[in-house]
Amino acid sequence: MIDGEMQAFALTLDKFLEHAAKWRPDAQVVTARDGGGTDRIGYADLMVRCRRTSAMLAGLGVGTGDRVATLAWNTQAHVEVWYGVMGMGAVCHTLNPRLTADHLASMIVQSEARVLIASADLAPLARQILEGAPAVEHLLIIDAAGGAIPDGLGARPAVLLESLLAQATGEVVWGGFEETAPCGLCFTSGTTGAPKGVTYTHRSSFLHTLRALQADVMAISGADSILAVVPMFHANAWGLPFAAPAVGAKLVLPGRMADGASLARLIAAEDVTIGVGVPTVWLGLVEHLEATAGQLPSLKRIIVGGAPMAPALMERIEQRLGVRVQTSWGMTELSPSGTVAPLSAPSHAALSGRPAIGVDLLLTDADGTPLAQQRDVEGHLRVRGAAVIERYFGHDAPATDAEGWFPTGDLARIDAEGNLMITGRAKDLIKSGGEWINPAEIEAVIGALPEVSLAAVIGRSDAKWGERPILLVETLGEVSDEILLASLRGRVAPWWIPDAVYRLPRMPLAATGKIDKIRLRSEYGGG
């Protein structure tokens, strides 16, 4: 007897755009421009430009498995690069422009990218990155107003990507590689503080997209207009550049403008139904609408994540905008979605939702032993699934335990209905506005000052950003707050600089002789 069989259908990301181009060719990707205008393109025309981008990159010597770095905002041009790179089997290495040039150069050196594609207004940062990444052969500029290359790029040549597209010839076949091939690379501080690369595969991102589209997750349909404020340079933009074309939804991109007034104009003009981003974005929107008595009747839902949301802010957003706020939890290592509050669940800021099929949660003790009871107790959170990391980029050892569980570094509870509540972090990293801050790097700089005996940085609760860093020091001599903080400038990202300095006559130490950060958080971390 011969069993029947199904067709081979590799789960590669190019299929999302090809589907949209065929079945929803006129559904649009809209990008906000500086000054209030917009650019727009249908999925069919977008695919043509994405394929031309692949041909252009092939002409520069980019092939299957090669990394192409991007330093760019949420724009049509960035989407074209994503699909142009991934469709041909190369790997899109997204860089976070909020980090320092030294950090970003180190990441490019690790990824061995030979092409860097940067937004025009980020060209000065790109120049600084190239000074520490000499192996980069090509600097391409996108989103240049008036088609002009920005000044100040130094001796390294830069070319407008658009001019290369006009010269591109030939055609690159999309797909034709294994679905387990890498498609994306994003570095994260992880749960230990050292920058680590997370490699996404076509299969993992494809399955992540299908999960996100479920009715009890993001519940996106072809009738939606989705405003993606969550950045494309961080954690796959929560998968929205894949999910929108998968169902033919309109994808609205704010460029670099995420202030309340700009978002309000964009939402009203494009009949946005779903907004996705960190809580501080929506606080800015609410404050603008309150000041102007504005209304956004098309907006139905806001999906938040990346940072804890204050209950008062959630209530304020829902009442002022007349929307439903869906909370979520995830990590770069999870592609990034872990849990999302379903529309059927009561609105609750502290709950991050339930896991959908394809991701599973486990609570353990500090040693990784599963807790006998998994409901209504606090434990160390572990996760596994089809879009969960197995090992970090360049690492031999797996990031998971023997059973395949990835330790998130979070402390959590799961209630009787299966809703996840993040209660803290086992590690010291500070999450501010959805981005990680590494206290150890700040402490190393401050601790090197001759006037400083001991230094500690902890996160303090903040109504806007979730957490903000504060500096606690034990000094040996006279040194001003200004000198302490000035030592950090140029050494860490500007938004890492602590909001306040507290001087302690004696730094509290734990029994091991290390600084007692548990005590410091208890006394100074409450806000």
- pLDDT of amino acid 278: 87
SS3 letters for 264-324? Answer: HHHHHHCCCCEEEECHHHHHHHHHHHHHHCCCCCCCCEEEECCCCCCHHHHHHHHHHHCCE
| pTM of structure | 0.88
Q: Supply the pLDDT for residue 192.
A: 44
Q: What is the pLDDT of residue 191?
A: 37
As a whole number of angstroms, the distance between CA 431 and CA 420 comes to 18
| CA angle (190, 194, 196) in 5-degree steps | 60
Q: What domains does the chain contain, in order, with CATH numbers?
A: 17-411 (3.40.50.12780), 437-524 (3.30.300.30)
Which residues in the chain land under pLDDT 50? 190-192
- Cα torsion angle, 279, 284, 290, 294, sign: negative
Q: Which residues are catalytically annotated?
A: 188, 333, 431, 436
Q: Which residues contact 73 (CB under 8 A, 6 or more apart)?
A: 119, 122, 143, 231, 232, 233, 255, 256
Check residue 154 and give its pLDDT: 58
Q: How many CB atoms lie within 10 A of CB 95?
A: 29
Other CB atoms within a 10 A radius of the CB of residue 356 amount to 21
pLDDT at 90: 98
- Per-residue pLDDT reduced to its tens digit, 280-319: 899 899 999 999 999 999 999 999 987 777 787 899 999 9
Whole-angstrom CA distances from 521 to 129, 349, 350, 380, 456 are: 35, 22, 20, 19, 11
Q: Which two tokens stand for residue 42?
A: 């249908």
Between CA 14 and CA 183 the distance in angstroms is 10
pLDDT of residue 193: 53
Q: What is the pLDDT of residue 244?
A: 98
Of 306, 322, 315, the C-alpha closest to 349 is: 315
DSSP structure class, residue 495: G
Residue with tokens 């940085």: 457
Q: Report the 3 state secondary structure along 417-441.
A: CCCEEEEEECCCCEEECCEEECHHH
Return the SS3 of 346: coil
Residue 86: φ, ψ to 5°: -70, -35
pLDDT number for residue 212: 97
Token pair recorded at residue 183: 């498609």
